[in-house]
């Protein structure tokens, strides 16, 4: 097998369909972000057929106190592989691409992180052999295949949604340029004050919501919540095979407290995923949630979500730090 590295979306070939986090559209979106550089690693067999691909994100960090200028690499998920590959085969391909990531390191990097792996057993031996430090993480998702999502709601949230709909609140997917623009503006104003969560620039989000030919993308949807022709809530959802992933959501809770716009924005994405026969709905914002945000986690659990433990792997530039942290966490 051999591995190619692409740094420009113009050179990307047609890739295996799979996770939205490793798609061509995500690559184009990251190209629009300042201080961020995407790398698409594509693994081929001896006949030139794709075995799998992995999106690696290089980010720049500048701090004034103390003065630090560094880079770090992030891998969100295990990547995308051919269906014929079993778990052992996927791990072998992942290990080969991980070696390429280490070759990309420069002297200014701080660390590399592998996060959002669904199965915590995936590539455990590979990551351990490279002295990665496993940190506990969580995933929060709703199963949509066994029960209607309305049945999983708590009694209070059922009442909130019922009251909002009785007052004339409606929700739907944003399909026009005006609706998408207003929905993204609402998200931008909300996340501007959030320290732990950074919203990508509007140009990058539009690269996810639209395909290169200008049509709406099937891998991302923006939902809006309306009241008297005014947008009071918005949410952005990413899609992959069998799974819908809620990336961002917000609502004008202070100006419209009795309409529950934040709750309705998330509910719009959940109902759309159920209507389109997705098996699971995951809250991406629940991952790596700090302790002081436990109230937000409790709010998400009101939708009937289920918590699952997973691992977040980190490898620091300085080996003595890896050794110390592995003594603590392993």
What is the pLDDT tens value at each position of the chain, 330 positions in all?
899 999 998 999 999 888 888 988 899 989 888 888 999 999 998 888 999 999 999 887 766 555 556 778 899 888 999 876 677 888 999 999 999 888 877 656 678 899 888 788 888 999 999 999 998 888 888 999 888 999 999 999 999 999 999 999 999 999 999 999 999 999 999 988 776 677 888 888 999 999 888 899 888 999 999 999 999 999 999 998 788 999 999 999 889 999 999 999 999 999 999 999 999 999 988 776 665 566 778 888 899 888 888 888 999 888 888 999 998 887
* Predicted pLDDT of residue 106: 65
Beta bridge partners of 312: 135
Say if 2-130 and 141-308 have the same CATH topology: yes
Q: Which residues contact 269 (CB under 8 A, 6 or more apart)?
A: 221, 223, 235, 237, 244, 246, 249, 281
CB 300 within 8 A of CB 282: no
* Predicted pLDDT of residue 275: 94
Q: Architecture of 141-308 per CATH?
A: 3-Layer(aba) Sandwich (3.40)
Residue 18, φ and ψ in degrees, nearest 5: 180, -130
Does 66 sit behind a cis peptide bond, omega within 30 degrees of 0 on the bond before it?
Answer: yes
Beta bridge partners of 74: 57, 113
Q: 2-130 has which CATH code? A: 3.40.630.30
Name the residue among 323, 59, 77, 285 with its Cα closest to residue 190: 285
- Domains of the chain, by residue range, sit at 2-130, 141-308
Chain CA centroid to CA 264, Å: 21
Q: Which residues of 262-283 are buried (b: 16+ CB within 10 A; e: fewer)?
A: bbbbbbbbbbbbbeeebebbbb
Token pair 């097998």: residue: 1
Q: Rounded CA gap, 37 and 303, in Å?
A: 36
Token pair 């915590």: residue: 120
Token output for 216: 């709406």
Cβ of 50: how many Cβ atoms within 10 Å? 17
Q: Which residues contact 148 (CB under 8 A, 6 or more apart)?
A: 274
* Predicted pLDDT of residue 136: 85
Token pair 């659990």: residue: 301
Q: Which residues contact 187 (CB under 8 A, 6 or more apart)?
A: 199, 234, 236, 248, 250
Q: Rounded CA gap, 58 and 199, in Å?
A: 17
Beta bridge partners of 139: 308
Helices (H), 192-252: 202-209
Q: Rounded CA gap, 295 and 99, in Å?
A: 40
Beta bridge partners of 243: 240, 280
């Amino acid at each position: 097998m051999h591995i190619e590295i692409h740094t420009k979306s113009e050179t990307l070939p047609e890739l295996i369909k799979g996770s939205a986090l490793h798609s061509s559209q995500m690559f184009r979106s990251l190209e629009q972000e300042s201080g961020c550089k995407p790398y698409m690693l594509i693994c081929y067999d001896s006949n030139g057929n794709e075995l799998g691909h992995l999106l690696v994100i290089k980010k720049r960090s500048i701090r004034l106190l103390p003065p630090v200028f560094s880079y770090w690499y992030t891998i969100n998920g295990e990547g995308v592989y051919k269906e014929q590959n079993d778990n052992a085969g996927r791990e072998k391909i992942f290990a080969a691409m991980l070696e390429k990531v280490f070759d990309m390191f420069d002297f200014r990097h701080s660390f590399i992180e592998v996060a959002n792996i669904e199965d915590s057993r995936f590539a455990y031996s590979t990551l351990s052999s490279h002295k990665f430090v496993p940190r506990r993480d969580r995933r929060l998702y709703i199963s949509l295949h066994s029960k209607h999502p309305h049945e999983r709601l708590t009694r209070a949230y059922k009442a909130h949604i019922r009251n909002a709909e009785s007052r004339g609140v409606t929700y739907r997917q944003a399909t026009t340029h005006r609706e998408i623009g207003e929905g993204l503006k609402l998200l931008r104003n909300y996340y501007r004050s959030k320290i732990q969560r950074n919203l990508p620039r509007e140009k990058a989000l539009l690269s996810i919501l639209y395909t290169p030919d200008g049509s709406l993308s099937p891998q991302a949807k923006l939902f809006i919540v309306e009241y008297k022709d005014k947008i009071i809530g918005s949410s952005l959802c990413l899609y992959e095979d069998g799974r819908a992933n809620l990336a961002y959501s917000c609502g004008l809770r202070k100006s419209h407290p009795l309409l529950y716009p934040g709750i309705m924005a998330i509910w719009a994405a959940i109902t759309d995923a159920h209507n389109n026969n997705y098996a699971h709905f995951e809250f991406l914002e629940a991952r790596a949630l700090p302790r002081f945000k436990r109230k937000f986690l409790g709010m998400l659990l009101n939708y009937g979500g289920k918590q699952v433990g997973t691992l977040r792997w980190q490898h620091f530039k300085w080996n003595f730090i890896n050794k110390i942290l592995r003594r603590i966490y392993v």
